[in-house]
Structure 1
Amino acid sequence: MNTASFRFHGALQDFLKKRERDQTISYTFKGAPAVKDAIEAMGVPHPEVDVILLNKKPATLQQAISAGDEVDVFPVDAKYNWPVGYSFSKNHPAPKRFILDVHLGTLAKSMRMLGVKTYYQTDLSDNTIAQLAQEQQLVVLTRDIGLLKQKVITWGYWLRSQHTQEQLEEVIRRFDLWDSFSPFRLCLECNTPVLAVDKECIMEQLPPKTRLYFNEFYQCPSCKRVYWKGSHYDRMQGFIAQLIKNRNG
Structure 2
Amino acid sequence: MVTATFRFYEELNDFLAPSLRRHEFSCACARAATAKHMIEALGVPHTEVELILVNGESVGFDHLLAEGDRVAVYPKFESVDIQPLLRVRAAPLRVTRFIADAHLGGLAQLLRLAGFDTLYDNGFPDDEIEALAASENRIVLTRDRELLKRRTITHGCYVRALKPKDQLREVFDRLDLAASARPFRLCLTCNAPLRRIAKNEVGERAPPGVLARHTQFVTCDVCRRVFWEGTHWQRMRALMDSVTHPSAHSGLTAD
Q: Are 2:2 and 1:2 aligned?
A: yes
Q: How does 1:18-37 map to 2 (within 5 A)?
A: 18-37=18-37
Q: In structure 2, how many angstroms separate the alpha carbons of the residues matched to 1:80 and 1:11?
A: 16
Residue 50 of structure 2 aligns to a residue in which SS?
strand
Contact 1:96 1:175 in 2 (8 A): no
Which consecutive residues of structure 2, in runs of 5 or more, have no partner in the other structure? 247-255
Check whether the contact 2:179–2:244 (CA below 8 A) recurs between aligned residues: no
Number of paired residues? 245
Aligned to 1:93: 92
Other structure's SS at 1:202 match: helix
- 1:83 deviates by 4.3
Counterpart CA distance in 2 for 1:128 and 1:25 is: 37
- Pairing of 1:224-235 with structure 2 (within 5 A): 224-235=224-235
Do 2:61 and 2:88's aligned partners in 1 also have CA atoms closer than 8 Å? Answer: no
User: Normalising by the residue count of structure 2, what TM-score does the alignment of the two structures yield?
Assistant: 0.90
By how many angstroms is 1:237 displaced? 2.0
The CA distance in 2 between the partners of 1:116 and 1:189, in whole Å, is: 13
How far off its partner does 1:184 sit?
1.5
- Superimposed CA distance per residue, residues 222-245 of structure 1 (whole angstroms, 9 cap, x where no aligned partner): 221211122222222212333346
Give the aligned partner of residue 69 of structure 1: 69
Counterpart residue number, 2:221: 221
Deviation at 1:68, TM superposition (A): 1.1
Match of 1:159 in 2: 159
List gaps (5 residues or longer) in structure 1.
none
Distance 2:80 2:21 in 1: 19
Q: Provide Cα deviations, 1:124-163, integer angstroms capped at 9, x if missing partner.
A: 1011101110111000000111110001001000001011
What code does the residue aligned with 2:126 have? Answer: D
Aligned alpha-carbon RMSD (Å): 1.7
Whether the 8 Å contact between 1:130 and 1:153 is mirrored in structure 2 is yes
Tell me the TM-score normalised to structure 1 length: 0.93
What residue is the counterpart of 1:54 in the other structure? 54
Structure 1 residue 175 displacement after superposition: 1.6
